[in-house]
């Protein structure tokens, strides 16, 4: 399995002309997976050798602005580069509880209509992931007011046995989220390649003794 990582931004809090806010892309099997999407990520993508249209999954570590303020704009740019296609698989977006409401409200208030589907899979944090006074319970954030056409997706709870959240699994790898401690609930993402059976040339081994 071939993996390639491109850092689009490694700055924090305050972007500069030379250093973008947090964002990196993992390229795998012709797809691009984006991790964090700080302000200016779409501009950094244009400067890179990557094609934004190949982004199929987006992972947001936490809800501080320097890690997600670029996301609504990036989705709108991807939409401008798209044509309506009902059969196109959705872009999967993973992040802490509250991310669905942030995206829905940002796109709704700006009258932005995406030409492709997307889903938001929210990770429910535990209270020990940040200082007690910083914890916010976003479980009832929308109070049922989100319209039926709002972004679908799963609400993922911690698996106590694994002490992690299972996000993606296919024949080659597993992607899990793990809890991190930060000023707000934060998550780290681990990509684990599944064991692949080796191939032995039995006759050559015999010939070599």
Domains and CATH numbers, the chain: 4-208 (3.60.15.10)
Predicted local distance difference test score (pLDDT) of residue 139? 86
Residue 173 and residue 1 in contact, taking contact as beta carbons nearer than 8 Å: yes
Predicted local distance difference test score (pLDDT) of residue 62? 97
Q: Is 66 a known active-site residue?
A: yes
Predicted local distance difference test score (pLDDT) of residue 111? 95
Catalytic residue among 66, 137, 142, 170: 66
> How many Cβ atoms from other residues are within 10 Å of residue 74's Cβ?
20
Whole-model pTM?
0.89
Taking 70 as the pLDDT cut, the residues of the chain under it are: 86, 143-150
Q: What gap in Å lies between CA 36 and CA 68, rounded to an integer?
A: 6
Average pLDDT over the chain reads 91
Describe the crossing of helices 71-80 and 99-109 by its angle, rounded to 10 degrees. Answer: 60
Q: Which two tokens stand for residue 31?
A: 């797809």
Residue 149 and residue 201 in contact, taking contact as beta carbons nearer than 8 Å: no
């Amino acid at each position: 399995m071939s993996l390639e990582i491109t850092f689009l931004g490694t700055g924090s809090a305050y972007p500069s002309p030379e250093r973008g806010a947090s964002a990196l892309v993992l390229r795998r099997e012709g797809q691009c997976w984006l991790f964090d999407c700080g302000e200016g990520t779409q501009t950094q993508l244009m400067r890179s050798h990557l094609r934004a249209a190949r982004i199929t999954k987006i992972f947001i570590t936490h809800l501080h602005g320097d890690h997600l303020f670029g996301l609504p704009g990036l989705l709108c740019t991807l939409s401008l580069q798209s044509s309506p296609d009902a059969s196109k698989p959705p872009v999967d977006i993973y992040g802490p509880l509250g991310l669905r409401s942030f995206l829905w409200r940002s796109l709704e208030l700006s009258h932005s209509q995406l030409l492709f589907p997307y889903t938001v899979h929210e990770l429910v944090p535990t209270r020990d992931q940040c200082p007690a006074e910083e914890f916010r319970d976003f479980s009832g954030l929308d109070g049922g007011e989100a319209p039926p056409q709002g972004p679908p997706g799963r609400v993922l709870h911690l698996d106590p046995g694994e002490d992690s959240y299972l996000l993606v699994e296919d024949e080659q790898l597993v992607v899990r989220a793990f809890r991190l401690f930060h000023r707000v609930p934060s998550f780290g993402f681990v990509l684990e390649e599944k064991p692949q059976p080796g191939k032995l040339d039995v006759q050559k081994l015999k010939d070599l003794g």
